[in-house]
Chain A
Amino acid sequence: MVLLEVESLSKSFRGLRAVQNVSFEVPAGEIVGLIGPNGAGKTTIFNLIAGVYAPDSGSVLFQKRPIHALRPDQICAAGIGRTFQNVKPFAGLSVLDNVLVGAFLREKAPSAARALSLQILEKLGLGTKRDQLASSLTLPDRKRLEVARALATRPKLLLLDEVMAGLRPTECDQIVAVFRELNRAEGLTIVLIEHVMRAVMALAGRIVVLHHGEVIARGTPEEVVRDKAVLECYLGEETEV
């Protein structure tokens, strides 16, 4: 079953064509990687899916239902969780309270929301930091907090925007293991934007490559890394392996 369908999506910012005629599908239960050089339009695609921007043209279907006219909170309620590349923690709240806000979407009772939040914090290795103010976290921890908050909304589809940037290789492997486990055990579908190719190769079953707002290649990780166009414009120089 296809969970998410992005069809001929386009978006310009004052004449700059950030996303042009992009189409791809995300089957339920899969992990899809979205890669490409900086400025390729990856984050903009997430913002279009998550309802931050309305597309100039094209459509987004989630579980066969068009969602591109919905607000971000409605899209979250429909089952799409997202993280922000430029992290947006609730700086004045504790780590636990940050996650609680997400948990309240499905768990209306404070005690149940708290239990869910603690469980997720534990999973992401933030358990011991739960009482710290979010503003006191390091950048990698803030990225983890982004993931924890999004997971607390119990999404069917999780959009991860460069959450592994800045992590050390061992930390990166840990979080990769968390995502793989969530995918395997709970059937969580994931789209991840990532520059850390090691993580993309480890997680993604399929990859979509963007350049100047357009899809220039797609396929399995093995196919994509051998693709000539991809090698030229992206993997050639910028890869962190």
Chain B
Amino acid sequence: MIRGLLEGVPRRGLAMLAALLALLLAFPFFASGYLLAVGFLILYFAYVGQAWNIMMGFAGQLSLGHSLYVGLGAYAAAALYVHFGVSPWVGLGASIAVCAAAGAVIGFLAFRFGVGGVYFAILTIAFAEFARIGFDHFTWVRGSSGLFLPVANYTENDLWNLRGSPRMFYYLMLGLTAGAFVLCHALLRSRMGYYWLAIRESPEAAQALGVNLFRYKMVAVVVSAAMTSLAGVVFAFYYNNLFPEQIFHISRSIELILGPIIGGIGTLVGPLVGALLLTGLAEGMGELMLALGVDIPGVKQVFYGICLLLVVMFLPDGVWPPLARALRLDRKGKD
């Protein structure tokens, strides 16, 4: 199993991955509280970017409504915790189930009735918007006034209830990100992964080779939704407050797809690199502005815009593919 996973991966790549993992593991020991928060955000975006990438990068289905799964995942686990004291480790089962079901409904409506491309993307936006408006009036989770998780002064990390220090959340997110990376790597080498890529490249040819388009597109949506839900759970317990207007907002959906786009759609490393670049540089810009005493609202947004523009113009495949070639890590069009 492990040998199968490692087969064909360049040695240098493995070495670099190991070094990166060691660096990420050691990071909290020399990072300030602020840097740790930035590190958490980078890992968070790397994780959701990876989850989104399964749908778009692998199977070629554009979702512009992934905030739906972050929000549903967050609300499901948070509501169970607030109302019944259910541990998030149990609650995440509900999050996964709800998000998988939501993904299945959207996928079914789209793929059964031949909705594709831009229209599919619009459908995903519509569902996220339904949720945003619906949750504003969903009193069980306090509607638009927001759901708050009780925050007590803790002296020790309570991992079971996810009450604890930023460091605990950092490692939790690191575990999720690493897990998602390995999972996606394994998926890409599986029959399913090949079928997804085939659907992305040419649905007609894939179908002529025996690929059941409906089934494999459904699986992509459900897997992506379920993975994204876990980011929602961590989000809820990290920030301790949830507002429908924020968590389901379309800007959240856009924000989470920028990483994989900048990093390289359909690549394994792209979402990581993209999250690092965007979050790292945006925060860096913020700090720089602060240091220079410049206080212009929207600097971050403008910066995102410029980054996207530059990448789209000069690196149409994202940052990672040319970087991988430069590092001699490319394996003919994958990874």
A interacts with B:
yes
Residues of chain A touching chain B, judged by Cβ–Cβ distance below 8 Å, are 50, 52, 71-73, 76-77, 81-82, 84, 88-94, 97, 100-102, 104-105, 108, 110, 113, 131-133, 149-150, 152-153
Chain A nearest CB: distance from B202 CB in Å?
Answer: 5
Does B212 touch A at the CB level, under 8 Å?
A: yes
- Does residue B139 face the partner (Cβ distance < 8 Å to A)? no
Residues of B within 8 A of A76 (CB): 207-210
Smallest CB-CB A-B distances: 5 pairs: A90-B201, A105-B210, A88-B205, A76-B210, A101-B198
Contacts of A97 in B (CB 8 A): 194, 197, 333-334
Q: Are B207 and A90 in contact (CB under 8 A)?
A: no
Asked if B191 is an interface residue, CB under 8 A from chain A, the answer is yes
Secondary structure class of chain B's binding surface, majority of residues: helix
Among A50, A91, A94, A132, point to the contact of B208 (Cβ < 8 A): A50
Is the CB–CB distance between B207 and A73 below 8 Å? yes
Chain A residues lying within 8 Å of B207, measured Cβ to Cβ, are 71-73, 76
Nearest chain B CB to A222 CB, angstrom units: 34
Find out whether the CB atom of A73 lies under 8 angstroms from the CB atom of B211. yes
Q: What is the size category of the interface that chain B forms with chain A?
A: 20 to 34
Do residues A84 and B210 form an inter-chain contact, with CB atoms below 8 A?
no
B209 adjacent to A102 (CB under 8 Å): yes
Asked if A90 and B197 sit within 8 Å, CB to CB, the answer is yes
Q: Most B CB atoms within 10 A — which of A73, A82, A88? A: A73
Closest residue of chain B to A86 (Cβ to Cβ) is B204
Known contacts A101-B194, A110-B189, A133-B332; is-contact A73 B202 (Cβ 8 Å): no
| B127 CB-CB contact with A under 8 Å | no
B168 at the interface (CB under 8 A from A): no
**Residues B165-211 near A (CB distance < 8 A):** 189-191, 194-195, 197-198, 200-202, 204-211
Q: List 23 A-B contacts (CB under 8 A).
A: A71-B207, A71-B212, A72-B208, A73-B209, A73-B210, A73-B212, A76-B209, A81-B208, A82-B208, A84-B204, A88-B204, A89-B201, A90-B202, A90-B206, A92-B197, A94-B333, A101-B211, A102-B210, A110-B189, A110-B191, A113-B191, A150-B209, A152-B209
Q: Chain B contacts of A71 at CB under 8 A?
A: 207, 212
A131 pairs with B332, CB closer than 8 A: yes
Q: With both chains docked as a complex, state the minimum distance between the C-beta of A111 and any C-beta of chain B, in angstroms.
A: 9
Q: Which of B190, B191, B210, B266 has the most CB of A within 10 A?
A: B210
Are B204 and A93 in touch, CB under 8 angstroms? no
Quote the shortest CB–CB distance from A115 to chain B (angstroms).
Answer: 14
Measured in the bound complex, the distance between the Cα atoms of B199 and A128 in whole Å is 26
Interface contact A104-B205, CB-CB below 8 Å: no
Bound Cα distance from A102 to B201, whole angstroms: 14
